[in-house]
Amino acid sequence: MIQIPFVYIPIIAVFCYVFLLLTFVAAQKSRLIYSFMLILGAYLLWTGGSVFMRLLFPPNYVLWYEISILSLFSIPFLVYNFISDFLDEKGYLLKLIYLIVTLIILILTHFQVFLARPELVQLAGGRSVFIYHMGWQIIFPCIYGLLMIVTIVLIVYRQIKKNGLSTPWIFPILFGGGILFIGNLLSIIPGNIFPWDTLSGIINAFCLFYALYRKRLFRLTLLVSRGTIFVIAAAVAAIFFAYLINPFQKFLIENIPQFQNYTTLIIAILFTIITISFYKGIQTLADNSFMKEQQLQAQQLKEFSFKVSKSLDLDEILSELVNVVKSVINVDKAYVCMLDKESESYKVVCTASPLDAKDFAFSITNPFIQWFSENDPCLIYKEFQRSKFHKSMWESEKRQLRDLNIGCIVPIKYDNKVVGILLLTEKHKNADFNFDDITFLDSVKSIVSIAINNANLYQQAYYEARIDHLTGLLNRKYFYEKIQSEFENSRMGSLALVILNLDDFKLYNQLYGNREGDIALQNISRIIRSCIGKAGIAARYGGKEFALIMPNCDTMKAFNLANEIKQQVADMNKGSSGEIMKVITMSGGLCVYPYCASNIKQLIDNTDLAVYNAKRSGKNKILVYSMDKPQTTVQSSSTKIKGGKYSEYASTIFALTAAIDAKDHYTFRHSQKVAEYSTTLAKAIGLNEDHVQIIYEAALLHDIGKISIPENILSKPGRLTSEEYKIMQTHVESSIAIIRHLPSLDYVIPAAVAHHERWDGNGYPRGIKGEDIPIAARCLAIADAFDAMTSERPYKKALSIEFAINEIENQSGLQFDPQLAEVYVELAKKGMININ
């Protein structure tokens, strides 16, 4: 066998190439990784083939020579292919030409056109050498190799010119290429026997490996994959046995002669045990050194994904994002900027600490935003500084990033649109962002982009469910939610409610059509939004009705605002081209908590009442609901309808009460007394004159439905059966059926329909309870019960006032409003309730 000088160099080379190949077998594959693996394979076949040829390894040296020389001649193209892929050079046509030329050279090499197979010559002393015979044809592969080197240099030069010499992966490529070139020059010096070419190949391979690492194409934990750990363990065990096998064999023969015939088996078993021990030990060390951090990242990524997948709140998602990034990536600060379409910029919406700056933004025209429109990976700012995009930035934009000490920018994209950006400061001690960091950030941005899109879709659906599609104002459903929340927030302050109702809007639609009516509603909505601004909340309360919720607003301010809206709406159609359109007027009502209402329902009811009074007193005005001062001395109400603005309805009410009088004289007298008692109570609690008058009219009509009750039930002298009682209860619906045909009197329906409801919810017909019952109906309920107890009927005698008072006190909080019951009892005890 031939003795090879410095045999340990090619052996080390083979070991290194195998180690690197096994490392990248476990890597996530890409075109660039495959290119590097092809170079490693060529280096391995070149070095290994050369060693086996010199060792005359079976089957013959010719086979190993062929493998070695063909691999050597393919290396220039494989290096060129790797560098062009590495530097994103397009040049597909040139690459195809070089590939075809390389294949031709390899075929001609196989047929010994350039170089004949070496001749094995036996020298004196048993030594053998290989003699090569080269002709002038060898100049062609040399020229081809030189051309390939020039092409590679040009590619690198263009990259340096474009991005600068300080690009982190350029230097290892230049250094490795230079070493490879120098090593091959040294190898052809006459008389040289040291394998400089093999040694330079090892150095070049590791330089390319380092360049890949600097480009963050793999994680260092690949170096401790199962395959590489096994190779390391086998190598360590082999070196260990190379020094100890002879002493150990001698020890066995001399001290344990009975095992003399089994020394080979014992050594093999021992080698296996030591190899496995080394393997387990190195694997444990690698797990403790490298894998724990990776497993921790995986666990945190899993927890982050689980949390954001359960949330549809954008703020919560972004808060989880900055928390998980700051805990995994060793940075001090993290900022999330989201796209604001109105300002066309990315504004800070979330930071890792509440003390971090939030007063900056990035325009959508910023070059690094444009860079993200063409690229998906995270942007390392140090590397971005050498790009053409950075050179096109304004100095103020560069200074902004420098002042924030930004190290990495992560795009949050959905459907190829940059919806947000995550900015990270430099890592501690200015450490580089490695492959694990970028991989983690890529995973996080993928998860968070989906979560943000889901949150936005939810917000859009949430918005559409609460916004009136025609006017863009809140719809009626969401109005009630907002007034509830604003009421809770205003318990220590004030809350004004304005309701604006368009006058004769049905006529407007009839004159100009529904399309013009919709346009008018949209214009009115714009006027309302511009007037109220940020001072309150506007909603479309009904088809032609709008509501304004104004927290911490006094009566005068709300009144002036409502009048300003009314005036602008009236001027809306002035100056229109073409046909002069009808002026749109508004009737509005205003009520302010806590001055004129004690709860939400009362606030809404009182405002509605003010709107109604504005309508029936001439329209085109804003009325304020105000409470009269509670009276300590209450005059009994007259049984006649008052004059003034209510006199036009007097004849209708008298006609209805006369109808019930003709059928049941008791019911007529009962309605008059209930009217007196309830208005006395209404005045005592401070309801205004309009409200008192409505209660009076409602009391007169509250039992009008008894016209429909058969006389044998209505005048029955004994106790009603359950069936008869159910029939008697229908008088409430009958009252509504009669009154609803009189539009001028529909305002009394809420009081009339609810006068048999109970405070505890056990009344009829709707079973509502508490303050959901209109205050007018609560007044009627007490007055109705009091008169029923103190009046004589065919089936019972009149009860005493004292009994009626006690019964009202006992039913306080059950059948009756406890506050109203207390006031009524006080009035009765003072003799202010006249039962004659």
Task: Say what the pLDDT of residue 558 is.
Answer: 93
**Contacts of range 663-666, beta carbons closer than 8 Å, 24 or more positions apart:** 663/706, 663/707, 663/711, 663/714, 664/706, 664/711, 664/714, 664/715, 666/791, 666/793
Residues 743 and 772 in one domain: yes
Instruction: Average the pLDDT over each of 133-147, 316-330, 552-566, 637-651 and give the range with the smallest value.
Output: 637-651
The verdict on 211 and 251 lying in the same domain is no
Domain assignment of residue 228, yes or no:
no
Tell me which of 465, 496, 531 is where a domain ends: 465
Residue 519's CATH number:
3.30.70.270
Establish if 637 belongs to a structural domain.
no
Same domain, 102 and 213: yes
Q: Cis (ω within 30 of 0) for the bond into 765?
A: yes
Q: Quickly list DSSP for 4-63.
A: PTTTHHHHHHHHHHHHHHHHHHTSPP-HHHHHHHHHHHHHHHHHHHHHHHHTT-SS-HHH
Residues 13 and 146 in one domain: yes
Query: Would residue 374 count as lying in a domain?
Result: yes
pLDDT tens for each residue of 732-760: 777 777 777 665 666 777 787 888 889 99
450 with 476, same domain?
no
Do 81 and 108 have their domain in common?
A: yes
Omega of the bond leading into 594 within 30 degrees of 0 (cis):
yes
Task: Characterize the bridge pairing of strands 622-624 and 495-502.
Answer: unpaired
Structural domain range at position 19: 8-218
pTM: predicted TM-score of the whole model, two decimal places: 0.51
- Report the pLDDT value the prediction gives residue 547, as an integer from 0 to 100: 95
Which helix H or strand E contains 405, and what residues bound it? none
Residue 372 · residue 413 · CB < 8 Å: yes
Q: Which residues pair with 335 in a beta bridge?
A: 351, 423
Q: Confidence class of residue 646 from pLDDT cuts 50, 70 and 90? A: very low
Q: What's 342's domain CATH number?
A: 3.30.450.40
Residue 834 counted as domain residue: no
- Alpha-carbon distance of 24 to 213, in angstroms, equals 12
Domain count, the chain: 5
Least confident of 49-63, 236-250, 546-560: 236-250
Please choose, from the candidates 42, 40, 47, 45, the residue with its C-alpha nearest in 3D space to the C-alpha of residue 13. Answer: 47
> What's the pLDDT tens digit per position in 203-247?
887 887 777 776 666 655 555 556 666 666 666 666 666 666 777
- Are 710 and 817 members of one domain? yes
Residue-wise pLDDT for 403-455, tens only, equals: 888 989 999 988 888 889 999 998 887 788 877 788 888 888 889 888 888 88
Task: Place 283 in a pLDDT band, splitting at 50, 70 and 90.
Answer: low
Q: Quick check: 126 pLDDT over 80?
A: no
Q: How far apart are CA 814 and CA 802, in angstroms?
A: 19
Same structural domain, 455 and 549? no
Last-in-domain residue among 465, 487, 506: 465
- Strand ranges (E), 150-248: none
Q: Residue 630: which pLDDT band, with cuts at 50, 70 and 90?
A: low
Q: What is the CATH number for 104?
A: 1.20.1070.10
- Work out the pLDDT band at 644, boundaries 50, 70, 90: very low
- Check if the beta carbon of residue 339 is closer than 8 Å to that of residue 458: no
For residue 343, is it within any domain?
Answer: yes
Q: Tell me: do 719 and 587 sit in the same domain.
A: no
Q: Which band of pLDDT confidence, cut at 50, 70 and 90, is reported for residue 587? A: very high
Boundary of a domain, candidates 191, 218, 245 = 218
The residue that leads in pLDDT, 648 or 254, is 254
Tell whether 198 and 257 lie within a shared domain. Answer: no
Structure token digits, residue 118: 């070496």
Same domain for 378 and 414, yes or no, is: yes
Q: Who's near 359: CB < 8 A, 6+ residues apart?
A: 348
Buried b (16+ CB within 10 A) or exposed e, 644-680: eebeebeeebeebbeebbeebebbbebbbbbbbbbbb
Residues 682 and 823 in one domain: yes
Within-domain flag for 630: no
Residue 751 lies in a domain: yes
Is 226 a member of any domain?
Answer: no
